Structure 1
């Protein structure tokens, strides 16, 4: 009955064609890029404006029905999977670049703007949007904000949070807040970025743009062992050099790339390749290039190629950016893991990961952001074979535990989502997890925004006090949740 009433209320202001309730249509939204985890949604709303998001949230909240915001669905941790009967708020149609200010080097955008589209628009002003996930041709900036996404060049430029100045968000009661970077007090903007949609829905953001570099040099170094490529990264960093990107692909990945539409001319006899990019002022880059070449070349180096023009640079990057897509040449399904280890433990981690693959009998390859130790072990498999799926999950569990044991952490850029939710006790104490629950309770007292994510199952959010008003008031007092004015990124007060 609640669903029928919700639909009647939605139809008062949302065209019926943008309310999807057919089971086959909704099935398209049951997972994100990580198909190991799936959910079921009773409905999908195709929203096109902030006003529609506010109205949708108010309708669902009025019936105590949860929701999950969704952009392009390219996430890899199950973050956009609808759980506990959540409706999907699809905001990918909100894709306006509202303003670009070349002097202030900022842009104001809607959440559905594609990452690469923003970068290309900024290029007209000799600027760029630095975060560059491998899925940047498809992923939305709103999704980047939710996951605090990274990418190859974040080794130099930092994660998404460094490039977001303001976030305009709709809370679970329909309140619209502008969370700013400056102004003192608690950094609610920082808390919102990377919260994976558990605090509310992004409807607008003001982002930082940076100048496009005057000089770029790109090298592809090939090695006779994967360990040698990891040691080269250590040698480069040890010399005090700071490339814009340091990316490693192993032999299996190279073979898949070269057999795909992403073919980049990588040497197929190499056990690994290291893609190095330098950027900056011409004199500095030229000096660094010689030092990098010296550090990267050793006894197990079997070749080095430099991109001599933009076309050859794009070719070398095409292979790296297309690596995950190319893995479809190996098997129908792919589990892309995301964990971080100290750079000094790269070789040890890779060796351990390869052993786990052998122990579990799975097809495992490696492509990763070597500069900051952000590993992406890829397990290729057939999801239609239950025993194979079970081995894949066991291997993933073992890999995450290995990375934590080596002094690393569970995620570098993909988020926790469903995939790593129950691994959170590996890195957080019960008290730390409870503090996170308290924060979530203060922002979303009824647990409506993207339920079932990040915090471990068991003592769930409802049990920790989502429906207890006294607990909520105590939480707000402890955390000092501000009575912020309802303002947009322009700074103007917003009537509701």
Structure 2
């Protein structure tokens, strides 16, 4: 039962105007980007500083109230799903770039700063922030830390964990600690690394120090069409085998291209089976040499059209088509599920062919758009809920992620496990592995108040049918009510 004293205590901690209790306003926070899971919280607080975050967490800790940190709400795994009779701690007011240090090439940020705004702040110094999630205009660095997000350029530059030097964190008891250091060096266990990608279950990152890179001297981008998905997948393997490490290698299949073209008219070929976006960056001489290798490998695998961006405008348009793909699927399907999994690059063609078979058996369509350079798939399962296709779509979505594990990959590359895939964790990890993860979580949060029900399977979570709430037949008949 929610302690009636908590709203007043939280109002003292963050200011009464920054506590939301109105039922209508609370619905804004009932889910993240995975809208199939919904739960209205008891209340929402909007702290304006690290100290206010800590004060709010202490209230929750002292009164045994579960709490969930929330950034922009763009997550796609249900990682920011509220808890019934719990508190959402929204970080949307913490949006300041606290420092740009051009000499040491680092930035200190509050968690609500968007990924793109980091680069905008660093650009006047000839610097940029390398991780490049496709949602970089809206996703925040706090969310990137929680999920260890990657993006288009992770094949060359790595994920968020490779670019975060230190974190100032509010632990689940309300204490404030620093994990890591401004140089990235530290003594003892790598607690910074433990925290990154923990999906908000170990605490709340309130100040994040990231490293910045010099803006590349040259950037070369091409768009290549192929007669089959297999041919495009084989190009990716051959690029790496040849020692070419592009800044990005992205793939889209015919359905994804159709959707993107309907939305943004980026100039992709509607009749092609698959397209690759390949980008190289670095010194001009190196880019020129590697670019010739890329073109030769594309030609060897039957490339039917090779478009080389002539300037920054054409390059931006190519990327606009790729980055619009998720949202653009709404042009070709009334409903869809965005999934996330990883396979070895050498098995890209195999997994895509198997996904196509699985989709056919389920009577559904799957559009594929993904970070081909590191095997991070983003299959989009298309369905029509009004036509009764939801359950089949959810089952297909789950089967695709578990297929990735079967082929030597993982359940997630960057979207996280959250609520969506917690019940699939035993497919990837043994009982001992999961027990160790739970012990680590318990060391940070012995009362399990910090983002409970996420990441690790629990009897309650996995004993229920995942997905949207489905009323019991007796409820539909008016015999019983849902509390």
TM-score normalised to the size of structure 2? 0.92
CA contact (8 A) 1:236 1:296 kept: no
Is residue 395 of structure 1 aligned with residue 396 of structure 2? yes
Question: What whole-Å deviation, never above 9, does each CA across 1:231-255 have from its counterpart, x for those lacking one?
Answer: 1111211211111100000111111
Q: 1:273 aligned to 272, 275, 295, which one? A: 275
CA contact (8 A) 1:341 1:407 kept: yes
Tell me which residue corresponds to 2:476.
none
Looking at structure 1, the residues matched to 384 and 31 of structure 2 have their Cα atoms a distance apart, in angstroms, of 17
Tell me which residue corresponds to 1:242.
245
Tell me which residue corresponds to 1:186.
189
Is residue 93 of structure 1 aligned with residue 93 of structure 2? yes
Is residue 172 of structure 1 aligned with residue 175 of structure 2? no
Question: What whole-Å deviation, never above 9, does each CA across 1:97-154 have from its counterpart, x for those lacking one?
Answer: 0110111000011000011011111111111111111110000000000000000001
Looking at structure 2, the residues matched to 24 and 3 of structure 1 have their Cα atoms a distance apart, in angstroms, of 21
Looking at structure 1, the residues matched to 385 and 131 of structure 2 have their Cα atoms a distance apart, in angstroms, of 32
Query: Unaligned stretches of 5+ in structure 1?
Result: 461-496
Looking at structure 1, the residues matched to 309 and 33 of structure 2 have their Cα atoms a distance apart, in angstroms, of 32
Looking at structure 1, the residues matched to 355 and 301 of structure 2 have their Cα atoms a distance apart, in angstroms, of 24
Could you tell which deviates more after superposition, 449-458 or 231-240?
231-240
Tell me which residue corresponds to 2:223.
220
Looking at structure 2, the residues matched to 53 and 14 of structure 1 have their Cα atoms a distance apart, in angstroms, of 8
Tell me which residue corresponds to 2:106.
106
1:300-311 mapped onto 2 (5 Å cutoff): 300-311=302-313
How many Å apart are 1:39 and its aligned residue?
2.1
* Cα distance, 1:449–1:284 mapped onto 2, change above 3 Å: same
Cα RMSD (Å) of the superposition?
1.4
Is residue 337 of structure 1 aligned with residue 339 of structure 2? yes
1:305-324 mapped onto 2 (5 Å cutoff): 305-324=307-326
How many Å apart are 1:13 and its aligned residue?
4.1
Looking at structure 1, the residues matched to 419 and 257 of structure 2 have their Cα atoms a distance apart, in angstroms, of 30
Looking at structure 1, the residues matched to 202 and 404 of structure 2 have their Cα atoms a distance apart, in angstroms, of 28
Tell me which residue corresponds to 1:430.
431
Tell me which residue corresponds to 1:36.
36
Could you tell which deviates more after superposition, 411-420 or 396-405?
396-405
Tell me which residue corresponds to 2:45.
45
How many Å apart are 1:336 and its aligned residue?
1.0
Tell me which residue corresponds to 1:15.
15
Query: Unaligned stretches of 5+ in structure 2?
Result: 462-483
* Secondary structure class of the residue paired with 1:365: strand
Looking at structure 2, the residues matched to 55 and 23 of structure 1 have their Cα atoms a distance apart, in angstroms, of 24
Tell me which residue corresponds to 2:379.
377
Tell me which residue corresponds to 2:442.
441
How many Å apart are 1:451 and its aligned residue?
0.2
* Secondary structure class of the residue paired with 1:12: helix
1:200-215 mapped onto 2 (5 Å cutoff): 200-215=203-218
* Secondary structure class of the residue paired with 1:242: coil
Tell me which residue corresponds to 1:251.
254
Question: What whole-Å deviation, never above 9, does each CA across 1:210-248 have from its counterpart, x for those lacking one?
Answer: 111000100000112111111111121121111110000
* Cα distance, 1:85–1:354 mapped onto 2, change above 3 Å: farther
How many Å apart are 1:277 and its aligned residue?
0.1
* Secondary structure class of the residue paired with 2:459: coil
Tell me which residue corresponds to 1:199.
202
How many Å apart are 1:398 and its aligned residue?
1.2
How many Å apart are 1:383 and its aligned residue?
4.2
